[in-house]
C-alpha cells in the first residue's frame, strides 16, 4: 500500500508540475501576443475632438484661449481588428524641431502632440514625419459637415444624426465605420475608421457610439 501511495503521489506531483509549466507557457504566449510592436496593427481610428466640450473642463488650456476651434485632431490611432490597440511602441523617440513644427500644424497644443506621438504614433511604424504626414492626409480626407462647423450658440442632435451628417458629407464612410462619443450630455468626439491606406473602412471590435439616447448638446466655440 505504501508503495502504491508513493506512485500515486509521484504521478500527481508530475501532473501538477506539467500543468504549472503549461500555465506559465500559456501566460508567456498571451503576454507575447499583447506586446506592442511598431507597424503591427490592422487599421487606424481617426479621432476628432469637439474642442468646445474639452474646454468646458479645461478652461486654462492653451487650446481654449479664444481660438474658436470646432473639431480638432485628437489623434490617429493604430487599432487591432479584434479589439484593443498597441501603444508606446519601442523605441519611443523625442520629436525633432522640424517634426514638432509639422505636428503643430495638425494638433492644437504641443502637449497633445507629444502625447499622441509617444502613445500612438510610435506604433504606426512610419517614423515621426511619416506618422504626421499620415495624420495630415487622414484629417484632409474627412469633410466636416456644414451643420457642425464652429458656431456661437449651442445646438442639439441625436448621436445618430451626427453620424449621419458625417456620412452625408463623406459618402465613403460605411454605417459601421464611424462612432460618436459623448462626455455626459455633450458631444466629445467623432471617430472615423480608416484602413492603413487611409481609405474609409469598417471599425473593429469595441469601437462604437458611446452617448446617451435622445438629444445631446453640442456647445458653442470659445
Catalytic residue selected from 35, 99, 116, 161: 116
Set of cell numbers at residue 50? 469637439
Q: Do 171 and 154 meet the contact criterion of CB atoms below 8 Å apart?
A: no
DSSP 19: H
Q: Which residues pair with 77 in a beta bridge?
A: 45
Nearest to 162 by CA among 189, 183, 193: 189
Helix (H) or strand (E) holding 158: strand 155-158
Q: Which residues pair with 181 in a beta bridge?
A: 189, 210
Query: 86: phi > 0 → left, psi -120 to 50 → alpha, else beta; which?
Result: beta
Catalytic residue selected from 27, 35, 58, 74: 74
Quick check: is 115 catalytic?
no
Quick check: is 74 catalytic?
yes
Q: How crowded is residue 123: how many other Cβ atoms within 10 Å of its Cβ? A: 24
Query: 137: phi > 0 → left, psi -120 to 50 → alpha, else beta; which?
Result: alpha
Query: 206: phi > 0 → left, psi -120 to 50 → alpha, else beta; which?
Result: left
Catalytic residue selected from 99, 120, 186, 189: 120
Number of H helices, E strands in the chain: 6, 6
Quick check: is 120 catalytic?
yes
- Kindly list the catalytic residues: 74, 116, 120
Amino acid at each position: 500500500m505504501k508503495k502504491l501511495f508513493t506512485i500515486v503521489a509521484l504521478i500527481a506531483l508530475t501532473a501538477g508540475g506539467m500543468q504549472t509549466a503549461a500555465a506559465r507557457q500559456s501566460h508567456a504566449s498571451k503576454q507575447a501576443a499583447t506586446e506592442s510592436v511598431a507597424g503591427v496593427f490592422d487599421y487606424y481610428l481617426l479621432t476628432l475632438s469637439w474642442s468646445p466640450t474639452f474646454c468646458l473642463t479645461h478652461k486654462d488650456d492653451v487650446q481654449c484661449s479664444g481660438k474658436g476651434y470646432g473639431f480638432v485632431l485628437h489623434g490617429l490611432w493604430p487599432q487591432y481588428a479584434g479589439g484593443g490597440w498597441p501603444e508606446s511602441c519601442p523605441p519611443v523617440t523625442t520629436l525633432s524641431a522640424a517634426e514638432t513644427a509639422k505636428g503643430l500644424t495638425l494638433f492644437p497644443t504641443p502637449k497633445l502632440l507629444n502625447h499622441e506621438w509617444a502613445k500612438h504614433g510610435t506604433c504606426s511604424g512610419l517614423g515621426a514625419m511619416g506618422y504626421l504626414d499620415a495624420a495630415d492626409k487622414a484629417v484632409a480626407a474627412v469633410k466636416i459637415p456644414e451643420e457642425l462647423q464652429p458656431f456661437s450658440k449651442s445646438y442639439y442632435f441625436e448621436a445618430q444624426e451626427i453620424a449621419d451628417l458625417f456620412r452625408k458629407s463623406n459618402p465613403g464612410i460605411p454605417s459601421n465605420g464611424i462612432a460618436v462619443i459623448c462626455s455626459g450630455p455633450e458631444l466629445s468626439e467623432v471617430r472615423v475608421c480608416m484602413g492603413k491606406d487611409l481609405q474609409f473602412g469598417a471599425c473593429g471590435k469595441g469601437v462604437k457610439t458611446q452617448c446617451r439616447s435622445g438629444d445631446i448638446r453640442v456647445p458653442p466655440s470659445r
